[in-house]
Amino acid sequence: MGVEAPKTYVGKALVRGRAAGQVEFSDTALSFWGGVDSFSGEVIDRHHPLSGRNLSGKILAIPGGRGSCTGSSVIMELIVNGNAPAGIVVSRQEEILSLGVIVAEEVFGRSIPVVQISERDFEALADCSQASIDGDLVLVGASSGPSAAPARLKRPHVGSLRLTERDRAILDGKMGKAAQVAMKVTARMADIQDAEELIDVSQVHVDGCIYTGPTSLEFAKRMLGWGAAVIVPTSLNSISVDQMRWREQGVAAELAGPALELGEAYASMGAKKTFTCAPYQLDTAPKLGDQVVWAESNAVVYANSVLGARTTKYPDYLDLCIALTGRAPLTGAHVAENRKATIVVEVSGFAAHDDMVYPLLGYHVGKLVGDAIPVLRGLENWQPTLDDLKAFGAGFATTSGSPMFHIVGVTPEAQSLEDVLAGTVLSRHDVRPADLAAEWASLNAEAEIIGLVALGNPHFSFDEIGKLASLCRGTKKHPDVHVLVTCNRDTFLRASEAGLIRELREFGVQFITDTCWCMLGEPVIPQTAETIITNSAKFAHYGPGLTGRKLRIGTLADCVDAARGQVIGRVPPAWGPSPSQ
């Protein structure tokens, strides 16, 4: 291979610093949560082109992040434990990873550079083996040196950000150190987002209570020690263990202890112990037009798309920072014109559909649109339920970085196509049964003997528990198949009062609250369960990397059939041909 000609690409430093190293390039966005091991830096997303690669010390070049808001926690963990990329180059505005780096700087004094360059320049990095970053510059070839100076910390830039007297008082430390750090982080993110002002928000859903390693706990402990206290109603996402049942589930104390301590730390700041990845199921769910701050990718998409509330896709830790100040950057989906669709997706050719269509359709559409907001046509007569929209949104949030979608005649802002179209339509796509059949095939392992049925990603609703009970009624599961359902505490209590929990336990279902499938491992997942079936595209995607198991995806009825019979064939969906046909 010849010597690379020296080139310099000028971009925008999202986090300023210097670094050099071998380039790991992919034109596919990457979710660090569920996609990168927070202790080693290995890419564990088995559907990603970089699967198996170790990012430690490399210059990672990706279009940007996608999927979970917890990616910020993973990158912060890697920075502090010394296994992070040396630097990151992206081709679009990147908030989740940048925020994790910013918090690592502000709280732990550790950093890596993150720089955004144009899409054209980014594509040129595909052929580069070595690169370096210096502030706004990306250098390749002979101009890229082998060593790097320590990153230069970037102080909050507030020159173009209009702040109230109270905002400035917080930034000056007059309301305590925790609030000061929170406002610094918020101001830096506003700078990245080109926001000109901050707005008041009515509630916050915090995703940062997930335990990703010792740094996530240390962050909460430091903020609590600095006097952190939320000033707006704040709910908490799923934590990493079932707070009430972890002992009977066989979870080791050394694993449960830090996760429980982390949840309690956030509760001590004044957050409510909701512990759910589906806060839209709570009585406190926001209404149409409410300005809120939600983290957890599926929840953000649901809040914007189905409820019509307004939130951007908030990274972990920025959610807490805003809960401490009540102030958020006015940007993204908070702004009416930014909620318009620029991509039209036509869905056609389905003579019939079932509950598996929705997660697969969301998963496929997410791949088509990237960070853009789509509007779907063709579902006007399908009459999707709220749970169908939940499944669609979770699949969509897994493969897309977009904060929302519209469905004509279904979602509240899309009474007609014209209601939600932006001035310019960037692209149009047709989605037919064969497209979703191909996604089904890609997410389905060849194995037919099922050891575990995994339901509740995102958390099961009361209606879903009722549907499951009707499918299981009068029968029992196979003795060698485990059936686990995750849901929030309120839903579990309501289902218990309705007699559904007792009925499902007679079938053999075990219920888990407080946590969800993205955090569960052995022994909750039995060692003997080599293949898992789920009705969630999100878990079917992340599951192989998170659990080391083979994954199958099917309808809820398929999952119950697998629970009863243990063996389930790999039969193509009834609504579409197999990819080979």
Residues in the chain: 581
Closest to 85 in 3D by CA, of 124, 50, 122: 50
**pTM for this model (two decimals):** 0.90
Separation CA 5–CA 574 (nearest Å): 54
pLDDT at residue 33 in the model: 84
Distance of alpha carbon 126 from alpha carbon 322, whole angstroms: 37
- Rounded to an integer, what distance in angstroms lies between the CA atom of residue 90 and that of residue 481? 44
Q: Sheet containing 114-116: give its strands across.
A: 7-10, 137-140, 130-134, 18-25, 59-61, 87-90, 114-116, 12-15
Task: Give the CA distances from residue 21 to residues 18, 86, 110, 519, in Å, rounded to whole numbers and listed in that order.
Answer: 11, 7, 18, 32
Per-residue tokens: 187: 């101001």
3-state secondary structure of 348: coil
- Look at residue 150 in the predicted model and tell me its pLDDT: 41
Beta-sheet strand order (sheet of 343-347): 406-407, 374-377, 343-347, 427-431
| Domains, the chain, ordered by start | 7-143 (3.50.30.10), 165-334 (3.30.499), 340-431 (no CATH), 443-565 (3.30.499.10)
C-alpha 411/C-alpha 305 separation (Å) is 6
Q: How far apart are the first and last CA of the chain?
A: 42
Q: Among residues 283, 263, 282, 281, which one has the least CA distance to residue 273? A: 263
Position 22: which residue type?
Answer: Q
SS3 (DSSP) at 268: helix
H-only helix segments in 82-202: 96-103, 119-124, 165-171, 177-192
- In the sheet that 234-236 helps form, which strands lie side by side, from edge to edge? 234-236, 204-206, 293-294
CA–CA separation, 319 and 297 (whole Å): 12
Q: Which two tokens stand for residue 144?
A: 């890229």
What is the structure's pLDDT at 3?
Answer: 55
d(CA 493, CA 99): 36
- Residue type present at position 272: K
Neighbouring residues of 407: CB distance < 8 A, sequence distance ≥ 6 = 305, 375, 376, 379, 384, 389, 414
Catalytic site residues? Answer: 68
> Coil, strand, or helix at residue 60?
strand
Which residue, 498, 490, 436, 488, is CA-closest to 467?
498
> What is the reported pLDDT for 549?
97
> Any idea what DSSP says for residue 224?
H
CA angle 91, 94, 97 (to 5 degrees): 125
CA atoms of 3 and 526, how far apart (whole Å):
52
Cα gap 472→508, rounded to integer Å: 9
Tokens of 200: 């008041």
CA 9 to chain centre: 30
Q: Which pLDDT tens digits describe the chain residue by residue (581 residues)?
A: 455 678 999 999 999 999 999 999 999 999 998 899 999 999 999 999 999 999 999 999 999 988 778 889 999 999 999 999 999 999 998 999 999 999 999 999 999 999 999 999 999 999 999 999 999 999 998 555 544 444 444 444 455 899 999 999 999 999 999 999 999 999 999 999 999 999 999 999 999 899 999 999 999 999 999 999 999 999 999 999 999 999 999 999 998 999 999 999 999 999 999 999 999 999 999 999 999 999 999 999 999 999 999 999 999 999 999 999 999 999 999 999 999 999 999 999 998 899 999 999 999 999 999 999 999 999 999 999 999 999 999 999 999 999 999 999 999 999 999 999 998 899 999 999 999 999 999 999 999 999 999 999 999 999 999 999 999 999 999 999 999 999 999 999 999 999 999 999 999 999 999 999 989 999 999 999 999 999 999 999 999 999 999 999 999 999 999 999 999 998 888 886 544 43
What phi, psi does 348 have (nearest 5°)?
-150, 165
- Residue 99 — φ and ψ, nearest 5°? -65, -40
Q: What is the pLDDT of residue 581?
A: 39
Q: Could you write out the DSSP letters of every residue in 416-442? A: SHHHHB-SS--EEEEE-HHHHHHHHHH
Please choose, from the candidates 462, 410, 104, the residue with its C-alpha nearest in 3D space to the C-alpha of residue 281. Answer: 462
Query: Which 3 state secondary structure label does DSSP give 278?
Result: coil
Q: Which of 442, 361, 375, 462 is closest to 412 using CA atoms?
A: 375
